[in-house]
Chain A
Amino acid sequence: MVEYVPGIPILKPYIDADNKPYWDAVNDHKFVVQQCNKCKNYYQPPRPMCPECLTLDTMDFVPASGKGEVHSYIIYTTDKMAYPGMKIPYAVMVVELDEGVRITANNADDIDTEEIHIGMPVEITFVDIDDSLTLYQFKKREA
């Protein structure tokens, strides 16, 4: 789980035309991944053009399973390098989704920092930080 330090804002995503559908979906507690409707490749982070097809109008955002495995993770154990708005220790995980793309996020409340390991099965869940910000996190999943 992660705990925030009251009074210190969380750094928000920088939303623009290339990623707005992605974060709008997160706001609605839905998880989407960018997919080119021509070559069917998935992409993360979202981008304005498919590098395979070189097309601008084929970049859809499609519902994704949100299921995957921990590919790597780190634990901020001292405040030296950590973001001051989050209480230490906190973990950040890179999760490889079934779709093949890797997503970075924190662990949800049901996962203790100490039990995170590479290969751990996880799935997306959502947390409303405040009125203007919703983020995704990863919670436990049966293998």
Chain B
Amino acid sequence: MTSIKDMTAIAGIGLTEYSKGTERTEWSLASEAIKLAADDAGIKVKDIDGLVKDIDDGWDCSYVQKTLGIDNLLYSSESHWGTSSMLNVVTAVASGTANNVVYYRSRKGATTTRRSPSDYRVAKETLDDSISILRIDFYEPYGLATPQGCAAMLQQRYMHEYGITPEQMAGVIIGISEYGAKNPLALYTDKPVTMDEYLNSEMTVAPLRDIDCAPGVDAGIAILVTRTEMAKDLQQTPAVIMSAAQGAAIEGEFLTGYNQEKMTDFPETMNMAEELYRVAGITAKDINVAQLDDRFAPLVPMQAEALGLCGKGEGAAFCGAKSLPINTAGGSIGEGFMDSNRIVEAVRQVRGTSTSQIDNAEIILYAAGAGGPADGLIIRK
């Protein structure tokens, strides 16, 4: 059987300006990010022959094609809810279906709010097509209508099961914000969060605090993947993809898998990690740097456990001890929620261009979709 191991590499990354509010459309942000990714790799935009869109954000591939002037798309698809779609990109390239495939996400997270009842209703109507996987109507009538609340439900159970204290939870944010403070792109972390600041911060959905939630950012990000041997001839150091994987699990839902046997186990991430390490031929111990889903900080320790980086119940202490560098650009907490900004940081660690460059950054893990359908990548120089 053939393996995707080492067959593909990230050859280009494209980032628009990060802002707390822009007049520009997601269409504009996506178009610019994809162009920048091609420029970064040193290929012509018209040589892009595959596009993969994040299901939650960004304009459809056919519209992006209108701005980029791409004649044909040999491959196009969308991510699974809650995940990025790097596996789609990798399999499209590794199979020879397409040569230069871009995963893009453009999002106006800072200017889009879902606050008024009509906004909620609009959001729900938009989701009706996918209601079979997001049966949110079993939660919405009870006012559980935001992902923050859904995640806080997991956090409460987690803190109860393992006796995790707020001080231990603070350690997660403190560690990530220390990296964020060094990264000028991290709009939301000017300086590291302190223990006092965390403990005195506002609870928005107890036990979840406002400070635990990744803020919204307006930005576009594109990741360009090509065959490894092609990438070696391009202008950047290739970030070789050792493995890419997705994970799902029985009774899984997007942050509301409350009927899973143990809702704090994140079995989707466990399943994803098993495949990720198997394909890469490594174990969790071989990971030097991790870029984890910190959309809500309390998901990070649960995720670290599911990824096998530490034992069950040890995640908060593990993050606080900083024994493994996690989210070295400040994650979504610092840069704003985008998922793909953590792929970009994983690539920076390979290229040696991170604002918190880790000396022995040989094998870098990226994970997304904590508390629901999951995906991840392992990359190396």
A residues in contact (CB < 8 Å) with B: 2, 8-14, 44-45, 51, 71-78, 80-86, 90, 92, 94, 101-102, 104-106, 118, 133, 135
Report the separation of the CA atoms of residues A94 and B140 in the bound assembly, to the nearest whole angstrom: 13
Do residues A12 and B149 form an inter-chain contact, with CB atoms below 8 A?
A: no
Do residues A84 and B142 form an inter-chain contact, with CB atoms below 8 A?
A: no
Do residues A13 and B138 form an inter-chain contact, with CB atoms below 8 A?
A: yes
Do residues A72 and B206 form an inter-chain contact, with CB atoms below 8 A?
A: no
B338 to chain A, nearest CB (A): 20
Can you list 24 contacts pairing A with B, beta carbon distance less than 8 Å? A11-B141, A13-B137, A13-B138, A13-B141, A14-B124, A14-B128, A14-B131, A14-B137, A44-B259, A45-B138, A71-B157, A72-B156, A72-B263, A74-B156, A74-B206, A74-B208, A76-B143, A83-B140, A83-B143, A83-B146, A84-B116, A101-B259, A104-B139, A118-B157
Do residues A92 and B259 form an inter-chain contact, with CB atoms below 8 A?
A: no
Question: Which of B160, B250, B259 has most A Cβ within 10 Å?
Answer: B259
Given known contacts A45-B135, A74-B156, A81-B148, A135 and B115 CB-to-CB distance under 8 angstroms: no
- B154 part of interface (Cβ distance < 8 Å): yes
Q: Which 7 A-B residue pairs are closest in the complex by CB-CB distance? A: A72-B157, A11-B140, A83-B143, A14-B137, A81-B148, A75-B206, A74-B152
Report the separation of the CA atoms of residues A23 and B115 in the bound assembly, to the nearest whole angstrom: 27
- B17 part of interface (Cβ distance < 8 Å): no
Do residues B258 and A102 form an inter-chain contact, with CB atoms below 8 A?
A: yes
Report the separation of the CA atoms of residues A46 and B121 in the bound assembly, to the nearest whole angstrom: 23
Report the separation of the CA atoms of residues A45 and B152 in the bound assembly, to the nearest whole angstrom: 20
Main secondary structure of the interface of A (DSSP, over half): loop
- B153 part of interface (Cβ distance < 8 Å): yes
B255 to chain A, nearest CB (A): 12
Residues of A within 8 A of B250 (CB): 51
Residues of A within 8 A of B210 (CB): 78, 80
Report the separation of the CA atoms of residues A2 and B143 in the bound assembly, to the nearest whole angstrom: 10
B43 to chain A, nearest CB (A): 43
